[in-house]
Amino acid sequence: MQCGWPLLGPLRWISYVNKQVKVKAGKDAEHRGWLMTVDPVSSSLVLVTFREGGGASVQVVMGHAVEEVQVLQEADEETTERLQASFLSPQTCRLDQ
Amino acid sequence: SIPTSAASEEDAELLSEEQHARSVLRESFLRCLLSMTNKKVQFNMYEKVKVEATFGASDIDVLNFQVSDLHTPIGVQKEALIRCRDVISFTFDI
């Protein structure tokens, strides 16, 4: 994907969810991780990187700084589940379920 | 009454699909913000500025972040607002 990321819209953004992506943002900065979500208001990307032995590191790339988004690979079922449960506590479930 | 054309029905369907996608994405993003409260966050800003602070809150349109204990090169600012347009990315651990 070339520039124009903030203009893509929700249907295009959601197609990147659960994929491992490489994001170019700012001057020669590159971010990699599993795309958890895209904020539809600011078009910011939430990238999650799982650490060995549990836990994860979260990177949020601001939509206005995004220059290029490249898909590296799709998540398998286990990674998808882990990814989507990252910010949910055991007591809460998603609103659309 | 005004007859609805097939085209406008298609438009309505696309619109509701788009709205659903928007709500799913936004919900996840809000949960991400929520989990960031009171966590140490590293901000990566323009001109190679890197600062660390404890995250408080964001406004709904993601224009400003409220943070505490902002470690700047000239000292620690107890309370501060960070303008989101100055930020490239930020990182925290969960």
Contact state of B61 with A41 under an 8 Å Cβ cutoff: yes
Please judge whether A41 and B24 are an interchain contact, meaning their C-beta atoms are less than 8 angstroms apart: no
Domain boundaries, chain B: 1-36, 37-94
> How high does pLDDT run on average in chain B?
91
User: Can you give the residue ranges of every domain in chain A?
Assistant: 5-74
Please count the other Cβ atoms lying within 10 Å of the Cβ belonging to residue A3: 11
- Answer yes or no: is pLDDT of A25 > 70: yes
- Minimal Cα–Cα distance from B1 to chain A, Å? 32
Average pLDDT over residues A55-74: 93
CATH 2.60.40.1840 fits B37-94, yes or no: no
**What number is the ipTM of this complex?**
0.88
Strand pairing report for B87-93 and A56-61: antiparallel
pLDDT at B89: 95
Predicted local confidence at residue A89, as pLDDT = 67
Using an 8 Å CB-CB cutoff, list chain A residues near B21.
10-11, 13-14, 40
Angle formed at CA B57 by CA A54 and CA A81, multiple of 5 degrees: 30
Q: If one looks up domain A5-74 in CATH, what number appears?
A: 2.30.30.100
- Does B78 touch chain A if contact means CB atoms closer than 8 Å? no
**What is B48-73 written as a DSSP string?**
GEEEEEEEEEE-TTSSEEEEEEEEET
**pLDDT tens for residues B46-89?**
988 899 999 999 999 999 999 999 999 889 999 999 999 999 99
Token duo for residue A78? 């286990």
Question: pLDDT averaged over chain A?
Answer: 88
CB contact under 8 A, A26 and B89: yes
Chain B residues with CB under 8 Å of A21 CB are: none
> Quick check: B39 contacting A, CB < 8 Å?
no
Calpha distance A64→B63 (Å, rounded): 11
**pLDDT of res. B12:** 87
Higher-confidence position of B10 and B2: B10
